[in-house]
Structure 1
Amino acid sequence: MNLEKREIIINEIQYWRNNKLLPEQYCDFLTNLYDDEAAEKDNNPISLKNLQQGNIKIWLFGFGIISLIFLISLYFSVFPWPLQLATALSVLIVCYGYSAVYRGRNHVISLILAGLGSVLTLGFGLWMIALHDLDPQLWRPILIGACGLLWCILGFLLRIGLLQYCGYAFWALLYAGFFGGKRPEASILELELLWLPLCVMMVWLSWLLHHRVKGVASVFFAVGVSLWIMPELDALLLRQDYPQWISFMLILKIAVGLALLFLFRKKWITWVAT
């Protein structure tokens, strides 16, 4: 059938469905008849329609997954550490692996699985540090750096910008913690010199790579914009005994940043859209 005619028919069926002109099952039948994409989506086992139909395999699978999660949560602390590590890696591989599988089929499920895997990565790491009485001053920065690297790589491969952004945010946190320990008494000028070159570098990389590498320009630009106000956030949140005028300086920099974004909107929107 002609694609234009089929689209008209599908839109008409949706109109009937939304206005209750036909029963729901008739609309489903007609949609599956004329829309090949809808038929493919119905093959997805994790769908409300398949759950409503009472497929016993899907419900048993869900029961097994939920039971496995509770068993791991209850007995993880009594596992020997090699089994703990193997269990954590297995769960993460499953989450990220199925996120990659569903990336082209169902973007929402892919995002949920990637987010779950990311939360579990950090959670398992902190849990194992606490269980084995490891030195948090050493192992927490290692965990933060490892999570940041993992999320940057997976965010790029899976084309999940938010995951990639979180990876760079963890690296920024590690960077702030390192220099906070080295120079706890740093002046606001030192903090500006510490963060603003990184801000300029990330915005420049966004411009440089927006035609060359797909999926990184928007992330680099967002990271660069965030780093613009990091000196003030570093002073207010991670250091002590800073004057109150830092808060007014933060508001001023936000205003200046928004003004710059407005003035150069035609340029940076092109990078982000590309």
Structure 2
Amino acid sequence: MSKSKQGREAVIVNEIKFWKQNNMLPDQYCDYLLALYTNGNDPIQDTTADKRNSNHSITAILLSAFIISFSLFVIYFTELSVVLQTAILTGFVVSLFGMRIYYTKKKISTPFIHIAAAFLILILSLNISESLFDGSRSVTYAVLILNCILWMILGWKRKLLYFTLSGALGILIILFSILR
């Protein structure tokens, strides 16, 4: 192969890598083009981005687990007023949504953040309904069913099977508990 052809291919490969890095084309297209122009032998594989994404995913999981643990501590092991508990839980939910936006922009999967936010919204809604309606069973069941319906809608809209199944299973368990 001539030097000029190798030089042109190197320019094309560098351009495709630039497109991929700056999200100018979908990753699948860039990967295909890179494989095409390098004959499947890309000498510069970028594994640092994969390691960075892995570290970010672990950080997201740890932060989400910490937020859930701390919110359970705030709700069940402190004597804070309901208003203060609600404010703290709302702050945690907002911070989880902020984390989701941050990690989504970095193109890092965020299922654990979704699950943590859904769990905190469930706790928050149960806490509010318990304080407003003095622990009425029918209101508690209604809040639980509404949360499960929201999970199913979210799962259906975003194609998240774990939310769809959790919502459906939750409704079945609640209905079984009511009818029992």
Q: Place the TM-score, normalised by the shorter chain, in its bin.
A: 0.5 to 0.7
Question: Please, which runs of 5 or more residues in structure 2 have no aligned partner?
Answer: 1-11, 14-32
For residues 66 and 117 of structure 1, do their structure 2 counterparts lie closer, same or farther at Cα, with a shift above 3 Å needed? closer
Looking at structure 2, the residues matched to 66 and 164 of structure 1 have their Cα atoms a distance apart, in angstroms, of 22
SS in 1 for 2:159: coil
Q: Counterpart in 2 of 1:5?
A: 37
CA distance in 2, matches of 1:64, 1:162: 21
Preserved contact between residue 53 and residue 108 of structure 2 (Cα < 8 Å)? no
Letter of the 2:116 counterpart: L
TM-score with structure 2 length normalisation? Answer: 0.54
- Residues 137 and 83 (structure 1 numbering): CA distance in 2 closer, same or farther, change over 3 Å? same
What is the Cα-based RMSD across aligned positions, in Å?
Answer: 4.3
Q: Does the C-alpha gap of structure 1 residues 97 and 159 become closer, same or farther in structure 2, counting only changes over 3 Å?
A: farther
Which 10-residue stretch deviates more, 121-130 or 89-98? 121-130
108, 111, 129: which one aligns with 1:106: 108
2:61–2:112 Cα contact (<8 Å) kept: no
- Classify 1:67/1:115 alpha carbon distance in 2 versus 1 (closer, same or farther; 3 Å): closer
Q: CA deviation at 1:73?
A: 4.4
Q: Deviations over 1:143-196 (max 9, x none)?
A: 212211321232234331220232233333444445x2xxxxxxxxxxxxxxxx
Partner of 2:18: none
Within the candidate set 48, 59, 62, 2:55 is matched to: 48
Cα deviation 1:208-264 (Å, max 9, x = unaligned): xxxxxxxxxxxxxxxxxxxxxxxxxxxxxx4xxxxxxxxxxxxxxxxxxxxxxxxxx
**Which residue is 1:116 aligned to?**
116
Match of 1:141 in 2: 141
- 1:213 maps to what in 2? none
How far apart are the structure 1 equivalents of 2:165 and 2:65? Answer: 30
CA displacement 1:192-212 (0-9 Å, x = unmatched): xxxxxxxxxxxxxxxxxxxxx
Q: Secondary structure at the match of 1:138?
A: helix
Report the identity percentage. Answer: 12
The one-letter code sitting in structure 2 at the alignment partner of 1:141 is Y
Q: Structure 1 residue 128: deviation in Å?
A: 6.3
Aligned to 1:31: 45
With CA pairs under 8 Å and 6+ residues apart, which has the higher RCO, 1 or 2?
Answer: 2
Any conservation in 1 of the 2:68–2:116 contact (CA below 8 Å)? Answer: no
State the alpha-carbon separation in 1 of the partners of residues 65 and 163 from structure 2.
Answer: 25
Q: TM-score, normalised by structure 1?
A: 0.39
Question: Over alpha carbons, which structure has the higher Rg?
Answer: 1
Alignment correspondent of 1:160? 160
Residue identity in the other structure for 1:92: V
Query: What is the Cα deviation at residue 132 of structure 1?
Result: 8.6
* Contact 2:86 2:127 survives alignment (8 Å): no
